[in-house]
Amino acid sequence: MMDVERVVAQRLMGATGIKAVLEVPEERPDEFISVEMTGGTGDRFIRQASLAVQSWAQTRQRAAEISRLVEAAVSGIADAEQNVFRAVATGSYRWPDPDSGQARYQTNVELTICE
């Protein structure tokens, strides 16, 4: 079974050139992308996966720029991954981290996977 979070992180990192992680590191880099599964459904063959892709940066403007790069890169996941038949960014919004105050945007991503 495909590790959806890992695949999406690797593809986004390759497309954007920005470090992508599955867990927010304790020692945060100046900018990075985090990928987290937020839901999903399906059967043995076809699954829907919902992911939160967060774009972190030192400024609100840079976090928004990274978010736009993520949005542009998402559709390429379906082109690059044999088992991903649909990859869509369904919206982004500003969401500063409440603990650190670090600038962050979140992009919601929906995948259709056939294995």
Ordered domains of the chain (ranges, CATH): 4-114 (3.30.2000.30)
What does the pLDDT read at residue 43? Answer: 82
Task: Give the model's pLDDT for residue 44.
Answer: 78
Q: pLDDT-derived band of residue 107, with 50, 70 and 90 as boundaries?
A: very high
- For residues 33 and 54, the answer to whether their CB atoms sit within 8 Å is yes
The answer to whether the predicted template modeling score (pTM) of the entire model surpasses 0.85 is: yes
What is the separation, in whole angstroms, between the first and last Cα of the chain? 7
Half-sphere exposure of 106 (CA within 13 A, CB side): 11
Long-range pairs of 15-23 with CB within 8 A, sequence gap ≥ 24: 15/69, 15/72, 15/73, 15/76, 16/66, 16/69, 16/70, 16/73, 18/66, 18/69
Q: For residue range 1-53, what is the model confidence (pLDDT) as tens digits?
A: 789 999 999 999 999 999 999 999 999 999 999 999 999 998 878 999 999 99
> What's the chain's average pLDDT?
95
